[in-house]
């Protein structure tokens, strides 16, 4: 893995500053501490930080073609690069390294922008084509690797992280009010926007060509779910063996590396599946890594140990204490350059740091929930339909709210009162908005109390992006549209963002076999009833893995990778919260109303209301704002 950046000044007489390019490389050095390199011809500057995984000695970037008419910087891994290299050699291309990076460059020479169609991997890359006086940028299909860009002063500026662009003196640090509004609800800013006005994320499955005519952006691939609705009815047994073999071959393919590879093992079905397949394919004993919590309702480490014992991995466990979290929270903006309200970033970072002490590359189980319909919210979508039809209106309107008021507030992991309040908050809400309300933080009525009046006139519908994705989805079934929405938004904007920032901050490469091109193509064609079977999510995956995993792991309910933030806010993090959400801080920024923030604090500290999501979302924004804008 690497970090990449660049300045393209082909439409201006202002030359690319070497000092600015070097500063952009410096701020992302954590992504690639092994080597740094730049190319600068005055009109185009490219920079790279390399974490050497393949061809340790010969893979320094930027890399050129034979006559140095093209240069590339690349972040990611291409799993089918060896087959592509053989094809290109047959076509007469000469290689100077053994890297997958150089394969992409020669593939571009052969196919131009269609080169991305042949890549199976995770990637963000930029190619300077001096013959066409153009720069070509592309991002992988699922958005595993990030890529930001902006146009300022007739220049294209891009990089792997937002702070790389902010290192350029021409990039302003103005907050995008629409992005702020969306962050408060989603806990992240959905692509293509970022929190900074005029700075964008290149969306998954898109490429950009920048030349004398300006910027041209195009989608080259999109996930399709319509095929799953036209399959004839079949039993799960008709698919089970084929899915198993697809997963097995994919994990084997993603083990390509010149350094040892480990696995992140939570004890859930997804990471356990990846671990089981890895044990079969890896030449040696597999090192597995998990994180535990002092608080039992959050701790999944016993499940991870059970899987490790069953499969025979060399298992390592880190126990996270509230003191460890409190110690690191003030410094999360060292690697978190956009506000991000998913508190599981903390254990993900600490687990990555722990694993990096032993290995340089790990496999992870991310993506299984979005592909196989594993989130409890999908079951809730079905349940709420029954609730509305069966429960009398008077009970729904009057009795249920009273019962919630009488229920004691619990700070345990996804407690009963928390689940019921979230569930009932979805009543009468359109499907796409309801889904994100259940997953996210602030509702509309809460933001109306929180935001200052001056910001409200320029805001758009909070869930506009979700509705737009629903309209472009090729599937007709509502739950398929929810899966599509999850893949486009929550997976890319939350899960993959979190894993990338947390792991790369520790110089650890995380690969995601469940999001491999072959797995995605196979699973998206499966009928919905093989994913969500009545009220059982990941139905086919669980059936397929019965031969390889303990029964209690297959049947255990999903817990999620959460942090006991509700309790930590009241004790270990209390001083930090009171400082960052103080009247002085709030009023100095001018976005929020302090009286409402104080109300949220008072309720939470008195245990009258569990405001963990709202307060954490605000706390992270305050920390980020002070570090990057204030």
Q: What was the pLDDT predicted at 213?
A: 94
Q: What domains can be seen in the chain, in order of their start residue?
A: 2-219 (3.60.20.10), 226-316+339-373+494-555 (3.40.50.620)
pLDDT above 80 (res 57) = no
Q: What local confidence, expressed as pLDDT, does residue 295 receive? A: 76
Give the 3-state DSSP-derived string for 246-281, with helices as H, strands as E and coil as C. Answer: HHHHHHHHCCCCCCCEEEECCCCHHHHHHHHHHHHH
Instruction: State both tokens at 478.
Output: 């509502």
Cα–Cα distance measured from residue 380 to residue 435, given in angstroms and rounded to the nearest whole number: 9
Place of tokens 């509702």: 443
pLDDT of amino acid 326: 79
Grade residue 420 by pLDDT with cuts at 50, 70 and 90: low
Q: Which pLDDT score is estimated for 591?
A: 97
CA distance 582 to 479: 42
Active-site residue (options: 2, 5, 49, 473): 2
Q: What are the structure tokens assigned to 257, written together?
A: 């590396």
CB of 338 closer than 8 Å to CB of 500: no
In tens, the pLDDT along 315-339 reads: 999 998 878 877 889 999 999 999 9
User: For the chain, what percentages of helix, strand and coil (3-state, to nearest 5) are there?
Assistant: 50, 15, 35
pLDDT tens figures, 256-302:
888 899 999 999 999 999 999 999 999 999 999 999 988 777 788 99
End-to-end CA distance of the chain, in Å? 32
DSSP state of 476: -
Judge whether 512 and 357 are in contact, CB under 8 Å.
no
- So what's the pLDDT on residue 212? 93
Question: Could you tell me if 6 and 159 are in contact, meaning their C-beta atoms sit under 8 angstroms apart?
Answer: yes
Q: What is the pLDDT of residue 220?
A: 98
Contacts of 121 (CB under 8 A, 6+ apart): 76, 77, 78, 79, 80, 81, 100, 140, 517
Let me know if 2 is a catalytic residue: yes
Spatial contact of 568 and 325, defined as CB atoms under 8 Å apart: yes
Model confidence at 17: pLDDT above 90: yes
Which tokens is 505 given?
């901050």
Mean residue pLDDT of the chain comes to 91
CA distance 203 to 367: 17
DSSP assignment, residue 385?
H
- 560: pLDDT strictly greater than 80: no
Q: What is the pLDDT of residue 119?
A: 98
CA atoms of 64 and 51, how far apart (whole Å): 19
| 527: Cα within 13 Å, side-chain hemisphere | 14
Residue 596 pLDDT greater than 80, yes or no = yes
Main-chain phi, psi angles of 83, to 5 degrees: -65, -40
Question: pLDDT-derived band of residue 72, with 50, 70 and 90 as boundaries?
Answer: very high
Q: Rounded CA gap, 624 and 622, in Å?
A: 5
Question: How high is the pLDDT of residue 382?
Answer: 76
Q: What digits encode the pLDDT tens for the residues 217-228?
A: 999 999 999 999
pLDDT of 574 reads 93
Query: Three-state DSSP class for 354?
Result: helix
For residue 272, the model assigns a pLDDT of 97
Residue range 591-600: average pLDDT?
A: 98
Q: Which runs of E-coded beta strand occur in 304-398?
A: 314-320, 361-363
The Cα 108–Cα 78 span in angstroms is 14
Per-residue model confidence (pLDDT) at position 308: 97
Q: Could you give phi then psi for residue 390, rounded to 5 degrees?
A: -95, -40
How does pLDDT run across 29-47, given as a tens digit for each residue? 999 888 899 999 999 999 9
Residue predicted with more confidence, 180 or 439: 180
Provide mean pLDDT across the span 18-35.
93
Residue 171 has pLDDT above 60, yes or no: yes
Query: What would the mean pLDDT of 109-130 be, rounded to a whole number?
Result: 97
pLDDT grade for 484, boundaries at 50, 70 and 90: very high
The count of residues in the chain is 630
């Amino acid at each position: 893995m690497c970090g990449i950046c660049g300045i393209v000044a082909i439409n201006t007489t202002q030359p690319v500053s070497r000092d600015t390019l070097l500063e952009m490389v410096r701020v992302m050095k954590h992504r690639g501490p092994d080597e740094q390199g730049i190319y600068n011809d005055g009109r185009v500057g490219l920079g790279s930080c390399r974490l050497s995984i393949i061809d340790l000695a010969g893979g320094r970037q930027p890399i050129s073609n034979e006559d140095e008419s093209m240069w590339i910087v690349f972040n990611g891994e291409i799993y089918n690069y060896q087959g592509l290299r053989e094809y290109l050699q047959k076509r007469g291309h000469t290689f100077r390294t053994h890297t997958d990076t150089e394969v992409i460059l020669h593939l571009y020479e052969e196919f131009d922008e269609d080169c991305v169609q042949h890549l199976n991997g995770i990637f963000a890359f930029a190619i300077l084509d001096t013959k066409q006086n153009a720069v070509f940028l592309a991002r992988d299909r699922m958005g595993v690797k990030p890529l930001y860009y902006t146009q300022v002063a007739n220049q294209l500026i891009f990089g792997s992280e937002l702070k790389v662009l902010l290192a350029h003196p021409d990039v302003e640090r103005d907050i995008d009010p629409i992005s702020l509004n969306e962050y408060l609800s989603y806990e992240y800013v959905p692509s293509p926007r970022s929190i900074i006005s005029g700075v964008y994320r290149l969306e998954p499955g898109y490429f950009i060509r920048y030349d004398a005519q300006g910027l041209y952006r195009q989608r080259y691939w999109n996930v399709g779910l319509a095929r799953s609705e036209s399959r004839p009815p079949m039993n799960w047994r008709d698919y089970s063996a084929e899915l198993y073999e697809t997963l097995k071959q994919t994990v084997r393919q993603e083990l390509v590396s010149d350094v040892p590879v480990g696995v992140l093992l939570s004890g859930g079905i997804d990471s356990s599946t990846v671990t089981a397949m890895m044990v079969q394919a890896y030449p040696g004993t597999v090192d597995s890594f998990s994180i535990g919590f002092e608080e039992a309702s959050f701790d999944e480490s016993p499940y991870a140990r059970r899987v490790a014992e069953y499969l025979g991995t060399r298992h390592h466990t880190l126990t996270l204490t509230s003191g460890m979290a409190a110690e690191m929270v003030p410094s999360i903006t060292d690697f978190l350059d956009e506000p991000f309200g998913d508190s599981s970033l903390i254990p993900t970072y600490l687990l990555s740091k722990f694993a990096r002490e032993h290995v340089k590359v790990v496999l992870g189980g991310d993506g299984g929930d979005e592909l196989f319909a594993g989130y409890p919210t999908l079951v809730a979508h079905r349940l709420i339909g029954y609730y509305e039809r069966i429960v009398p209106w008077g009970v729904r309107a009057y009795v249920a709210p009273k019962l919630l008021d009488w229920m004691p507030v619990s700070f345990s992991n996804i407690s009963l009162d928390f689940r019921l309040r979230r569930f009932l908050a979805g009543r009468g809400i359109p499907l796409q908005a309801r889904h994100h309300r259940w997953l996210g933080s602030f509702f509309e009525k809460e933001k109306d109390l929180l935001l200052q009046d001056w910001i409200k006139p320029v805001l758009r519908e909070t869930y506009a992006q979700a509705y737009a994705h629903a309209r472009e989805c090729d599937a007709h079934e509502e739950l398929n549209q929810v899966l599509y929405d999850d893949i486009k938004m929550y997976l890319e904007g939350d899960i993959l963002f979190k894993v990338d920032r947390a792991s790369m901050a520790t110089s650890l490469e995380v690969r995601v076999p469940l999001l491999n091109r072959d797995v995605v193509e196979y699973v998206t064609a499966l009928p919905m009833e093989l994913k969500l079977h009545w009220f059982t999510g990941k139905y086919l995956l669980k059936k397929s893995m019965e031969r390889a995993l303990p029964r209690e792991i297959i049947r255990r309910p999903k817990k999620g990778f959460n942090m006991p933030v509700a309790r930590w806010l009241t004790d270990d993090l209390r001083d930090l919260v009171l400082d960052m959400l103080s009247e002085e801080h709030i009023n100095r920024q001018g976005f929020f109303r302090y009286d409402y923030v104080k109300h949220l604090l008072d309720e939470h500290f008195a245990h009258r209301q569990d405001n963990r999501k709202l307060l954490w979302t605000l706390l992270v924004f305050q920390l980020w704002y002070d570090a990057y804008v204030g």
